[in-house]
Structure 1
Amino acid sequence: MTALSFWQRFHLKKMIRLICGVGGLLLLTCITIDQSISFYVRERVFEHIEQLPYRPYAIVLGTSKYIATGKTNDYYSHRLVAAKMLIDNQKVSALLLSGDNRTLQYNEPRTMFRDLRQMGISEDRLFQDFAGFRTLDSVIRADKVFQLPAYTIISQKFHCERALLIAKYHNIDAICFTAKQPEVYFGTRIREIFARIKALFDLILGIQPYFLGEPEPLPLPENQ
């Protein structure tokens, strides 16, 4: 009985070490993928507006205006502030508002449109993409559907990097201007690691937007 208990304990320890080893390897792989993506697109990320080149359009990537508690989502607010900043500083001439349009009550492009109008941006500078269900959809549709030859992406840095990975993989000429990052975002950043891994697999598997549709070229404004 004693010998049997000894071997049970021995095998249990081996199993625990194996699980820890595999878990550690997976964690290291996830971190490596995450950091490699940041490095891969680093030259296309701009955090200071004075260094940002002019592009006719910027795409504002959608997110919910409110969080579960009913408070305004800082990720949303900061993206709109960044968008207005680019318009005011003549770094872009128009905005493509791309987001989810899942129900009559939840419509990210329409909400962004209304709020940006209230912030003083004229209607003729605002266009909406109602089929930006995912980052992949927003990035590819801007190229294939709206046929923008080059554009700036507006979102927080971690999200920008994933969007730029998609753009670079598809040979899309895109750069990114980073919106302000909310002070507390640890949980969001952890989720982003898994979102990047999924994005990488989507690219490898050739996943396409949910709805591509026919081309709807947007007018190319002059630098104003």
Structure 2
Amino acid sequence: MRRRWRWVLAGTATVALVLGGPTAWAYSASSGRIVEPDEAPETDVALVLGAGVRPNGQPSRLLAGRLDVAAELYHQGVVRVLLLSGSVGPGDYDEPGTMRDYLTERGVAPEAIVEDSSGNSTWDSCLRARDVYGIHDLIIVSQRFHLPRAVALCGSAGLNVHGVPHNSGESNPPGTRLGYLRETAARLPAMWTALVTSSNAASDAAPDPSVSDALDVEAPTTADEDSTQQAGHGAPNARQGE
């Protein structure tokens, strides 16, 4: 009996180490890097990670929440360009295209949007932001339960990154629990990637100037902004209250 309890205790300790170690890594690596939308530092680019498209072609609830935060950051002048990273599947499944349509319907200028249709994982999106689009500083927009891993991974890729959450998952307890369970399982391979393989990792895709081209688009002058606001169109390109 005593021997059996030793095995039980050893197994419990192993599970705690396997699950607890990666979680501690993710929260430690992202410490101080996850901020609310009104605390986000001004950064040229926000990376919005895909989170599924409904059969009717609309973004999932989680994805719509991320896009709402991204649109808020854009309209408040916190970011200038939105990099939409997701996958394209069979038929009409197109995460970046769906994200673009949702954002333009909410007043984001098409020239401020760049679609990345090869963002098949969080790590892929981080590498492609760095190697394909030449980004060094960015904001990641996702749910709070996903951000520790996302920020830690992009940080291990050498990016200066902050995460801005949308709390849509928090208002749906079953969805929140499922999200945290998935994240707990995903953190072990993420930690391995960050600590073991990240130093030699690189995207083999050709450089894409779309982000730099979007940043080169001339920003509206102060006079243009004032006249636009007086006409009642659009949103000021500066944070409210500053």
* Range class of TM-score, shorter chain: 0.7 to 0.9
Shift of 1:205: 4.2
Greater radius of gyration (CA): 1
**What is the CA deviation profile of residues 154-203 of structure 1, one whole-angstrom value per residue up to 9, with x for unaligned ones?**
00122121111112212211111111242221122011011011111223
The 8 Å contact of residues 153 and 177 in structure 1, kept in 2 or not, is answered as: yes
Cα distance in structure 1, aligned partners of 2:148 and 2:185: 14
The 8 Å contact of residues 69 and 166 in structure 2, kept in 1 or not, is answered as: yes
Cα distance in structure 2, aligned partners of 1:181 and 1:35: 24
The 8 Å contact of residues 26 and 191 in structure 2, kept in 1 or not, is answered as: no
Change over 3 Å in CA distance of 1:20–1:172 after alignment to 2: same
Change over 3 Å in CA distance of 1:71–1:84 after alignment to 2: closer
2:136 pairs with 1:149: yes
Question: Which residue of structure 1 aligns with residue 35 of structure 2?
Answer: 46
SS in structure 1 of the partner of residue 128 of structure 2: helix
Equivalent of residue 187 in structure 1, options 178, 186, 196:
178
Which residues of 2 match residues 38-187 of structure 1 at below 5 A? 38-47=27-36, 49-66=37-54, 73-182=60-169, 183=171, 184=173, 185-187=176-178
Question: Which residue of structure 2 aligns with residue 200 of structure 1?
Answer: 191
Count of residue correspondences: 208
Cα distance in structure 1, aligned partners of 2:78 and 2:15: 39
TM-score by length of 2: 0.78
Cα distance in structure 2, aligned partners of 1:101 and 1:51: 33
Shift of 1:59: 0.5
Unaligned runs of 5+ in 2: 220-236, 238-242
Shift of 1:140: 1.1
Cα distance in structure 1, aligned partners of 2:71 and 2:80: 11
- Sequence identity percentage: 24
TM-score by length of 1: 0.83
Cα distance in structure 1, aligned partners of 2:66 and 2:126: 16
Equivalent of residue 25 in structure 2, options 36, 46, 49:
36
Unaligned runs of 5+ in 1: 1-9
Cα distance in structure 2, aligned partners of 1:101 and 1:19: 46
Shift of 1:26: 2.6
Cα distance in structure 2, aligned partners of 1:35 and 1:181: 24
Cα distance in structure 2, aligned partners of 1:54 and 1:144: 22
The 8 Å contact of residues 141 and 212 in structure 1, kept in 2 or not, is answered as: no
Cα distance in structure 2, aligned partners of 1:23 and 1:109: 43
Shift of 1:71: 9.4
Runs of 4+ aligned structure 1 residues displaced above 6 Å come to none
